[in-house]
Amino acid sequence: MAHELHRRDASRNMARFYALSVVPGLFGDTGLCRTWGRIGARGGRSIIEWFETPGAAEARLEVLRRQKLRRGYQPAPVAP
């Protein structure tokens, strides 16, 4: 499960992205990978939070996704 969100505001020169994805770990655990930064820039930042079950990682993903939507992020357009 992966989600990419964008937030753009030309008046503030803002073009940000926030990506969330659930990834399997090597030892039976599950990670929530969060990546964020400026759209079009190289780099950005990322962090992985580890959970014992996929359900716990997906629940945290949903909490973070809702927070970002409340702050003005929108689902990224799907490329053809």
pLDDT digits (tens, 9 = 90+) for 2-40: 899 999 999 999 999 999 999 999 999 999 999 999 998
Buried-exposed string 61-72: b where 16+ CB fall within 10 A, e elsewhere: beebbeebeeee
**Which pLDDT score is estimated for 36?**
96
Domain spans, the chain: 2-75
2-75: in CATH 1.10.1060:
no
**Which pLDDT score is estimated for 8?**
94
| Spatial separation of the C-alpha atoms in residues 58 and 62, rounded to whole Å | 6
Mean pLDDT of 54-59: 96
Of 1 and 59, more confident: 59
| Spatial separation of the C-alpha atoms in residues 71 and 15, rounded to whole Å | 14
**68 has a pLDDT exceeding 80:** yes
The answer to whether the CB of 58 falls within 8 A of the CB of 31 is: no
* pTM score above 0.75: yes
